[in-house]
Amino acid sequence: MGTQARWWYRHLCDPRCEEEELPRLASLAQPDADLQFWPAVQTLVAQGLPERAVQLLQLHPALRGGAAAAGLSAPEAGLLVRLEALLEEMP
């Protein structure tokens, strides 16, 4: 399989992120601390699954308890809130 075909399969066709990674991350006490949290958000967006990406993003403590609870600055937490809003508006 060529490089482009592997990229296409990994980002746009492979269902493992939605079927396996999303439930695994959702079951963790601190999913945002897992190394696969942000790659999973990116993969779900690339696969055209913004609602699933929002579902995962909403597990981030900054969106559940505020910036202080997540150990983030107000601008960092603001970026997460804007990202959430952007993903919710994606067609």
Neighbours of 67 (CB within 10 A): 18
CA distances from 69 to 31, 56, 61, 83, 85 (A): 14, 18, 6, 18, 20
User: What confidence score (pLDDT) does residue 68 get?
Assistant: 64
CA–CA dist 61, 21 (Å, integer): 19
User: What confidence score (pLDDT) does residue 67 get?
Assistant: 61
User: What confidence score (pLDDT) does residue 6 get?
Assistant: 76
Q: pLDDT for 23-80, tens place per residue?
A: 999 999 999 999 999 999 999 998 889 999 999 999 988 887 766 666 778 788 788 8
User: What confidence score (pLDDT) does residue 88 get?
Assistant: 92
Cα 43-49-55 angle, rounded to 5 deg: 90
Cβ-contact 12, 20 below 8 angstroms: no
